[in-house]
A = this chain, B = another copy of it.
Amino acid sequence: MTQVPAGTAVQTSAPAAPGRRGRRSVDVPTLVERAREGDPRSVARLISLVEDASPALREVAAALAPHTGSAQVLGLTGSPGVGKSTTTTALVRALRQAGKRVGVLAVDPSSPFSGGALLGDRVRMQDHAGDGGVFIRSMASRGHLGGLSWATPQALRVLDAAGCDVVLIETVGVGQSELEIASLADTTLVLVAPGMGDGIQAAKAGILEVADVFVVNKADRDGADQTVRDLRYMQSLGGRHDLTGRWRPPICRTVAARDTDNGIDDVLAKIEEHRLWLESSGEGERRRTARAAREIEAIALAELRTRIGDLRDGAALDALAARVVAGETDPYSAADELLARL
User: Chain A: residues with CB nearer than 8 A to chain B?
Assistant: 57-58, 61-62, 64-69, 153, 285, 288-293, 295-297, 299-301, 303-305, 308, 312, 317-318, 320-322, 324-336, 338-339
Contact = CB atoms under 8 A, between A and B. Distances in A.
Nearest to A63: B330
15 contacts: A61-B333, A62-B330, A62-B332, A65-B324, A65-B328, A66-B327, A153-B331, A288-B325, A289-B318, A291-B321, A292-B321, A297-B317, A303-B335, A303-B339, A304-B339
Contacts of A322: 289, 292
A299 to B, nearest CB: 4
Interface centre among A68, A301, A304, A324 (most CB of B within 10 A): A324
A69 B325 contact: yes
A324 B296 contact: yes
A298 B166 CA distance: 40
Given A327-B67, A332-B62, A293 B308 contact: no
Given A304-B339, A339-B300, A312 B293 contact: yes
Given A68-B327, A325-B69, A325-B289, A332 B301 contact: no
A339 B326 CA distance: 32
A303 B296 CA distance: 17
